[in-house]
Structure 1
Amino acid sequence: MSAALVLVLAFTPGLKSEETTSEIGGLKKAAETFVAAYNKKDAKSIAELFTENGEILDRDAHEVTSGRAEIQARYEALFALPDAPQIALEVDSVRFVGKDLAIEDGTVHATAPGDDSVATSMSYTAVLQKSEDGFWRIASSRDRSDTSDSAGRLGSLARQIKGDWTATRDGVRLDLAFGWDDSGNYLIGEMLVTAADAKPLKTTLRIAWDPANETITWWAFDDGGGFSRGDWTPVGETDWLIRTEGTTADGEITSANQTLAFEGKDRFLWNSSARLIDGVKQEDLKLRVVRQTPEPGIE
């Protein structure tokens, strides 16, 4: 997504029309300046767009960043990340609630680096105060809710898991491949398990955002006739817990707890525990899965 700025402003009465027009222009300039500083990764300039005691609150108001020094440090840490995004801003409405005081509601769209990255969206409310120099500065900003579309909800997982993976254990080889489907709303995958003394088993996978339950869900269908589904729960910044339940081709009920613990961008530990087949406990499985390197091309 480009860093285009979209302003659809509504305001409460109370100011003369010519005053309102002037103030809207100032607020638009403040928004444009914020986007430009963010996309240049200029943490110092962003901090100066806040009042001296300005603050940033997370959605639950549990974490508060207060004062320009803390705000600058917050953005410096964000911009140091390899997947620091670019943003675009939609300001939906502005309400003037007093002299030189306005409340702004809008949505921030963030897109991480990468040709096929998808945008995540977060609605926000900001209180802005007009300074003595005539510039509108942020006194308080708070995230309200994640408003990402289906693809955006999968964006973090997609950045981790897209690509080709492989693992081996006790003569058994596992190959995995994940990517976006044609619609761009789902992740699809294929898993192939091969062994010298068994028929290869191929499984097709689909990962989607479940808006009713507000969770990431996957479905797996193997070519032997079995299937399963599971909900993904994020653990910390990089890991995932998957609770999976299914049925074999013979009608046996299966279940397992699976964890994906990422070790950087090219490896993860896949641990499958509490494995049951028709109520009978199975051995836990652990696999270290590594990203496959591309096949060398022919010039």
Structure 2
Amino acid sequence: MKTNLTVSLALALTLASGLRGQEASPEIAGLEKAAKDFVAAYNKKDAAALAALFTENGEITDLDATDVTTGRADIQARYEDIFAAPDAAQIAIEVDSVRVVGKDLAIEDGTVHATPPGDDPVATSMNYTAVLQKSEDGVWRIASTRDRGDASDVGGELAGLAKQLKGDWTATRDGLRLDIAFGWDDSGNYLIGEMLATAADAKPLTTTIRIGWDPAKKTITWWTFDDGGGFSKGDWTPVDDDSWLIRTEGTTSDGEVTSANQSLTFDGKDSFVWNAGERLVGGEKLPDVEMRVVRQTPEPAVE
């Protein structure tokens, strides 16, 4: 999924932590000023001021060099698109090293942290390398910056999904009602959910859900446990910004093996379609299921 991180890597400097060079250099003061100017402009959402921090032919490049923006005009337009979004992040940059490698040329490596707005924000992080060039007027400007891969902590890896899932949801189909709630656990490392299924002809069933990040497989994983004694586990694979595929396997309370191919497709911020196909219980194939799940409207406050 594309995030604001790629385009926020336009400067490999930081105001918060200060620049740390391999050797003391009189150029560090100029690099620090460039950092202050960049952080201030970005967090003020000033696209024109950001573009002016680049050389005339400066560029922003992603990890695979498949997404490249070149030149001040296009860089300004790219930032304008980012800042137009309601979830535009605030950034801070943590520098690992800055090296003056030649006359009027410096290289910096570090990590940029982007924190979205909201009451419960979780930062996502990206490693970067940037090349800065000093112009004839003595000002350091960005010649090139490149992403070097995601560096988010566990919470950051879940941040995108958390933004979509957090809150209270409900769905009804053929006499079955689902009420679902998602939020962060106390550690901030897992999304926790609880689902209540009710029907006129069946006992209510409560399922607890835990969603986490598997650092070995580099994937989002979930575990579900129902109060009847059944459980399941599955890996989430992103299809695009709004869709996920989930392959789930588990066991019922009676010891029967279960499996399903599920998908979640968000339709805006207030609804998603959940589909479960190839459902097997004890080797018996069950019909596919599709439900539209909608966000519950908060109850009005009582004065």
If the length of structure 2 is used for normalisation, what is the TM-score? 0.93
Partner of 1:69: 73
**CA distance in structure 2 between the partners assigned to 1:8 and 1:215 by the alignment:** 34
Within the alignment, does 1:135 sit opposite 2:135 as a pair? no
Deviations 1:138-168 (A, max 9, x none): 1110010111111111111111100000000
Look up the SS of the partner of 2:118 in the other structure.
coil
**CA distance in structure 2 between the partners assigned to 1:240 and 1:24 by the alignment:** 46
Within the alignment, does 1:11 sit opposite 2:15 as a pair? no
**Counterparts of 1:242-253 in structure 2 under 5 Å?**
242-253=246-257
Q: Which has the higher contact order (CA 8 A, sep 6+)?
A: 2
**CA distance in structure 2 between the partners assigned to 1:134 and 1:32 by the alignment:** 16
**CA distance in structure 2 between the partners assigned to 1:259 and 1:77 by the alignment:** 30
Partner of 1:38: 42
Partner of 2:127: 123
Look up the SS of the partner of 1:117 in the other structure.
coil
* Residue number among 265, 269, 275 corresponding to 2:269 in the alignment: 265
Give the count of matched residue pairs: 290
Deviations 1:54-87 (A, max 9, x none): 1111112111111111111111111111111110
Unaligned runs of 5+ in 1: none
Look up the SS of the partner of 1:7 in the other structure.
coil
* Residue number among 142, 147, 154 corresponding to 2:151 in the alignment: 147
Deviations 1:204-245 (A, max 9, x none): 010111111111111000011110011111121122111111
Aligned partner letter, 1:71: I
**CA distance in structure 2 between the partners assigned to 1:242 and 1:254 by the alignment:** 14
- Residues 7, 92 of structure 1: 8 Å contact kept: no
Look up the SS of the partner of 2:131 in the other structure.
strand
How far has the Cα of 1:8 moved from its partner? Answer: 4.6
- Residues 43, 75 of structure 1: 8 Å contact kept: yes
Look up the SS of the partner of 1:114 in the other structure.
coil
- Residues 240, 261 of structure 1: 8 Å contact kept: yes
Partner of 1:286: 290
* Residue number among 191, 204, 212 corresponding to 2:208 in the alignment: 204
**CA distance in structure 2 between the partners assigned to 1:51 and 1:244 by the alignment:** 50
**Counterparts of 1:97-116 in structure 2 under 5 Å?**
97-116=101-120
Deviations 1:108-153 (A, max 9, x none): 1000110111111111000000011211111110010111111111
**CA distance in structure 1 between the partners assigned to 2:254 and 2:206 by the alignment:** 17
**CA distance in structure 2 between the partners assigned to 1:95 and 1:279 by the alignment:** 62
**CA distance in structure 1 between the partners assigned to 2:84 and 2:277 by the alignment:** 36
- Residues 174, 193 of structure 1: 8 Å contact kept: yes
**CA distance in structure 1 between the partners assigned to 2:242 and 2:22 by the alignment:** 41
Unaligned runs of 5+ in 2: 1-13
How far has the Cα of 1:10 moved from its partner? Answer: 2.4
Partner of 1:28: 32
- Residues 34, 49 of structure 1: 8 Å contact kept: yes
**CA distance in structure 2 between the partners assigned to 1:270 and 1:279 by the alignment:** 23
Aligned partner letter, 1:260: L
Partner of 2:301: 297
How far has the Cα of 1:35 moved from its partner? Answer: 1.1
**CA distance in structure 2 between the partners assigned to 1:296 and 1:141 by the alignment:** 48
**CA distance in structure 2 between the partners assigned to 1:167 and 1:4 by the alignment:** 47
Cα 1:108–1:170, aligned 2, differ >3 Å: closer, same or farther?
A: same
